[in-house]
C-alpha cells in the first residue's frame, strides 16, 4: 500500500510540484492525499486542481481565532490519514493541537544549512542574501522535523550547495531551489521506506 503525504504550501508550490511529479512517476512510492494552503489564490491551489488532489484553504480568513484554525487544520489532516505531513514553503507556525496530533510526522524544508540562516522572517531571498553577506562558501538544504518554533526542530537530513564568488541572490536561489526539489524527494523516499 502506498504511503500518503499531506502537503502544506503558501505560495507557488514548486517543491510541492516536485513531490507530485515524483509520486506520479513512481520515483517516490507515495501519493499526495491532501494539499492545504493558507492562501486561497496560491500556486499550490492551482496544482491541486490540475492534479485532482483534494485541496483546503485554511487561514485567518476562514478561521479568525487561532485555536479554531489549529483545530480545523488538525481535523482536516486527520481525515486524510497521512503517513507524513510536509511543509513545502508553508509560511505559518503550526498550532499545539496539530503539533501534538502529528508529532513525529511533520517535516519542513529550509534553503540553508540550519541552524544557520533560519528562524522567523528567514525565508526565500532573505536567506540567500544572508548567506552571501556572510561570505560562506557553502550553503544547502535542510529537512527537519517541525516543532513549535521556526526552523528549530531536529534535523533529519542536509545537503550542501556551493556558493560561488560571482553569485547573486537570484543565481544562488536558483541553484539551491533546484537541489531542494530533488533532495526533498530523496529524503521523503527514505523517511517513508
Give the whole-angstrom CA distance, residue 190 versus residue 87: 17
What pLDDT, in 10s, does the model give residues 33-44?
A: 999 999 989 999
Question: Of 11, 110, 128, 144, which residue is the catalytic one?
Answer: 110
Give the whole-angstrom CA distance, residue 76 versus residue 110: 24
What pLDDT, in 10s, does the model give residues 3-52?
A: 999 999 999 999 999 999 999 999 999 999 999 999 989 999 999 999 99
> In the chain, where are the structural domains located?
3-192
User: Would residue 52 show up in a list of annotated catalytic residues for this protein?
Assistant: no
Count Cα neighbours of 27 within 13 Å in the Cβ-side half-sphere: 14
Residue 112: band (very low, low, confident or very high) from pLDDT cuts 50, 70, 90: very high
Cα end-to-end distance, the chain, whole Å: 11
The domain 3-192 is classified under which CATH number: 3.40.250.10, 3.20.10.10, 3.40.50.720, 3.40.50.170?
Answer: 3.40.50.170
What integer is the mean pLDDT of 94-116?
Answer: 97
Amino acid at each position: 500500500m502506498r504511503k500518503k503525504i499531506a502537503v502544506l504550501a503558501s505560495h507557488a508550490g514548486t517543491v510541492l510540484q516536485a513531490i507530485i511529479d515524483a509520486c506520479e512517476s513512481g520515483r517516490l512510492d507515495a501519493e499526495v492525499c491532501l494539499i492545504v494552503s493558507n492562501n486561497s489564490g496560491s500556486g499550490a491551489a492551482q496544482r491541486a486542481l490540475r492534479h485532482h488532489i483534494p485541496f483546503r484553504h485554511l487561514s485567518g480568513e476562514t478561521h479568525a481565532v487561532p485555536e479554531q484554525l489549529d483545530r480545523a487544520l488538525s481535523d482536516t489532516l486527520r481525515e486524510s490519514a497521512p503517513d507524513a505531513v510536509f511543509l513545502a514553503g508553508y509560511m505559518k507556525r503550526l498550532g499545539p493541537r496539530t503539533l501534538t496530533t502529528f508529532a513525529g510526522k511533520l517535516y519542513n524544508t529550509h534553503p540553508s544549512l540550519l541552524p544557520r540562516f533560519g528562524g522567523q522572517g528567514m525565508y526565500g531571498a532573505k536567506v540567500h542574501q544572508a548567506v552571501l553577506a556572510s561570505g560562506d562558501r557553502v550553503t544547502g538544504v535542510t529537512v527537519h522535523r517541525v516543532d513549535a518554533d521556526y526552523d528549530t526542530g531536529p534535523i533529519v537530513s542536509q545537503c550542501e550547495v556551493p556558493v560561488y564568488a560571482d553569485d547573486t541572490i537570484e543565481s544562488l536561489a536558483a541553484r539551491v531551489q533546484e537541489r531542494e526539489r530533488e533532495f526533498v524527494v530523496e529524503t521523503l523516499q527514505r523517511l517513508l521506506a
